[in-house]
Amino acid sequence: YDESYWKLTGQPQDVTLLATSIEDGIPTPQMWTRERGHGRVFVSIPGHYSWTFDDPLFRTLLLRGIAWTAKEPIDRFNDLVTPGARMTK
């Protein structure tokens, strides 16, 4: 559960799509990456609520996106995934 945006503009063929949501019955991009020259961008539309960051799966996606953008190994921030996260045994 999170706020999403749809009816975005741009060129979908210019990005690597990672996740979509269904808005008005249409798959809509919610996470993507783009590389241009030496630059990298990771976009995550979800994450508007502070409690979203309590989800270890969301943290994993976000931290791996940050690591990828910085050209670091994607597991660089794995130690930050579980501290304070909502987890059950």
Q: According to DSSP H, which parts of 1-89 are helical?
A: 56-69
Closest by Cα among 48, 47, 39 to 63: 47
Q: What is the mean pLDDT of residues 8-27?
A: 86
Residue with the two structure tokens 């979908």? 12
35 pLDDT band, cuts 50/70/90, is: very high
Q: How crowded is residue 4: how many other Cβ atoms within 10 Å of its Cβ?
A: 15
Judged by average pLDDT, the poorest of 3-7, 40-44, 82-86 is: 3-7
Amino acid letter, residue 16: T
Q: What is the mean pLDDT of residues 60-86?
A: 92
